[in-house]
Structure 1
């Protein structure tokens, strides 16, 4: 009997007991369906994270912050004043900031080309063209961090410009994102003497939302950020030392990032690349996907026992038939192959149908969510299916089915033809 004949016979035998076969296929379907969906979620979200990373400006950058020095235990008394220490007010208290000495230390690290220090600016409020006033917390300078835009342009470093989030456009009184570009708003600053100053700022662009959270707040140009900081720290009777909440170290080769971060750690500074920051999202998503995959694997293992049961029953019911086939010259290997092909075909049916329904369901859900709950994250497809990954799921399930069918197939192959023919 040729392979084609074995396959044809195996497919025909599969449907002898339709109820048992259908129940086993349904169990496999559930596992394959779940695996396909969870795989689609992982692929979709990681693809969006990759796009977010690609949307940033220069990837050869390390974001540096000060870490509190914990080398010496702190007693209950006051700490000695160190003029080199720098604290940054955040509006919720203060944090250790980078001093000019820290900036010089970063610049002197091998592999660092230049350093862009970031001031922490806390405006009093923002006033729209209609006279409405809003609380304002500025993000990092947009020309240093990079951001994806819905309209407009990234501010130039020298001009008094900023980017506003798309969610702010309507509240600021503009008809659309395009309408907001080129318009001006007023940023009011209060200095250390309590005096207010109004700065007219041009909106150069409107930013998209992203998983990185980079566009949740308005983002000024470097020049505007520095100008606002200079006024914020003016009016004091004593000199206020420069302090920075972060610095961007531009490096020659991203492969040197690990060594540079290690040297920063020796100086009580924390360095993170864009990939490091978004890697947290990736780790969480992959963890969730693995947990969901474990449930799918449990379902497939249960389905494997279903295949064992189905074929064992089939072997018992067809004992005389097996004896007749062997008496007519069919070898034990071909009998083994016949029952193995039945198991593989059951696995193929369940996995192929499960994967196809999973892809269709995921695509529909992704489309609905993209126009609904996830509308604020343009470019995100919650389910994204890789044909190769889907094919691997089907093949993996077929392998599981083959392994599950090994015991019944071996039992059938070892049947003695004389005893089998006498079986009642």
Structure 2
């Protein structure tokens, strides 16, 4: 009876005797496994990238935006501030305004906010400090505004002139002193509309006073914890709807509300679904490569059986059983799959590293998925070798010895 060591030695000898054919067959498995590993890693890396991007524009945030003017007022601000689970809230108003620094003028998005905004939005200051609730004509600039928009770089304590257009058509210009400059968060995820690098932030009470309005365009809210985002958002939604006269039966109907509410969880869910769909699509294509590779293994094993017919007959004549012959060819097939799995796993990791580096993605390699891809390669070799091995094991030794 053939031992495992003998079977492995014979299998490796058979593979080595036809190096080119074995290499081409193994290549199919290598490509398939590499594609699976690389695609799974890319999917996980994209998911981590999206999570980091969303985290960079806010911490446990809930965003409420008005669908029209004269909807959200101080009453709604206090209502949200007193909602259980709320750690901070900033009202928001914004307008494109003419900003002048020395002789250069630019159109810049001006946002009126309060002191809580910096915490909700995860701001990090490049210099100076953010606004506090006692500030009057102070401004905080995004890094791009301060360093790139004007002919000269703007620094803390520099004065800038901002010209606003009121609803009645009047134009008002006020001088502001730069209190701080916000670091560029280096995020490309703009769904929340934060993007501090291209904005100027001023106290919202001053902005409303200049514009002659007493309403807000929306609220930027921070929940006490990540787990509290959903319940806190639901409670804010109920309270806002009630205060604005939205019937209880229309609470689930977004079209019936004069505002839009979304939170960090919803964005994460959307991006995770996108990442999962992308991973599933790419992995499906990779699995096709594995299928092609398994067909290649089956093909080479059938050819091997045909070429080694006399050898099979001799082994049987020497007393080797059907199970010995079956094990011999299955092991040979699994060795091809094993080699392909090892090389494919290494190639997949290298490919993922290169692509992640090019796309500036984090390197995420789910260990379970890598083990799964490697295991699939061995299983593919096993399954692909069953039919050829069974064919060899069932040969009549007399007929096999007569084979020319």
Q: Structure 1 length as normaliser, TM-score?
A: 0.75
2:205 to 226, 235, 243: 226
- Runs of 4 or more consecutive aligned structure 1 residues displaced over 6 Å after TM superposition: none
Point out the more displaced range, 150-159 or 32-41: 150-159
Q: 1:385 to 1:283 in 2, by over 3 A?
A: same
* Structure 2 counterpart of 1:45: 46
Q: Please give the alpha-carbon distance, in whole angstroms, between the structure 2 residues aligned to 1:351 and 1:27.
A: 10
* Structure 1 counterpart of 2:100: 127
1:360 to 342, 347, 350: 350
Q: Name the structure where helix makes up a greater proportion of residues.
A: 2
* Structure 2 counterpart of 1:314: 304
Cα distance, 1:100 vs structure 2: 4.6
1:98 to 72, 77, 80: 72
* Structure 2 counterpart of 1:196: 172
Q: Please give the alpha-carbon distance, in whole angstroms, between the structure 2 residues aligned to 1:334 and 1:151.
A: 73
Secondary structure of the structure 2 residue equivalent to 1:381: coil
1:169 aligns with 2:114: no
Q: Please give the alpha-carbon distance, in whole angstroms, between the structure 2 residues aligned to 1:45 and 1:13.
A: 43
* Structure 2 counterpart of 1:297: 287
1:402 aligns with 2:382: yes
After superposition, the C-alpha distances for 1:78-112 in whole angstroms (9 at most, x for unaligned) are xxxxxxxxx23xxxxxxx85345544665676x44
Q: Please give the alpha-carbon distance, in whole angstroms, between the structure 1 residues aligned to 2:361 and 2:226.
A: 32
Structure 1 gaps, min length 5: 68-86, 89-95, 235-239, 375-379
* Structure 1 counterpart of 2:244: none
Within a 5 Å distance, the mapping from 1:17-416 to structure 2 comes to 17-55=18-56, 58-59=59-60, 61-66=61-66, 87-88=68-69, 97-100=71-74, 102-103=76-77, 106=80, 111-113=84-86, 116-128=89-101, 130-138=102-110, 141=113, 142-147=117-122, 149=124, 151-152=126-127, 155-158=130-133, 159=135, 160-166=138-144, 169-173=147-151, 180=155, 185-193=160-168, 194-198=170-174, 199-213=176-190, 214-215=194-195, 217-219=197-199, 224-232=203-211, 234=212, 240-248=213-221, 250-251=223-224, 254-255=227-228, 257=230, 260-261=233-234, 264=237, 266=251, 268=257, 270-367=260-357, 369=358, 380-381=360-361, 384-386=364-366, 389-416=369-396
Q: Please give the alpha-carbon distance, in whole angstroms, between the structure 1 residues aligned to 2:331 and 2:149.
A: 65
What RMSD, in angstroms, separates the aligned Cα atoms of the two structures? 3.4
Q: Please give the alpha-carbon distance, in whole angstroms, between the structure 2 residues aligned to 1:170 and 1:285.
A: 34
Q: Structure 2 length as normaliser, TM-score?
A: 0.78
Q: Please give the alpha-carbon distance, in whole angstroms, between the structure 2 residues aligned to 1:123 and 1:270.
A: 22
Q: 1:252 to 1:15 in 2, by over 3 A?
A: closer
Q: Please give the alpha-carbon distance, in whole angstroms, between the structure 1 residues aligned to 2:180 and 2:278.
A: 39
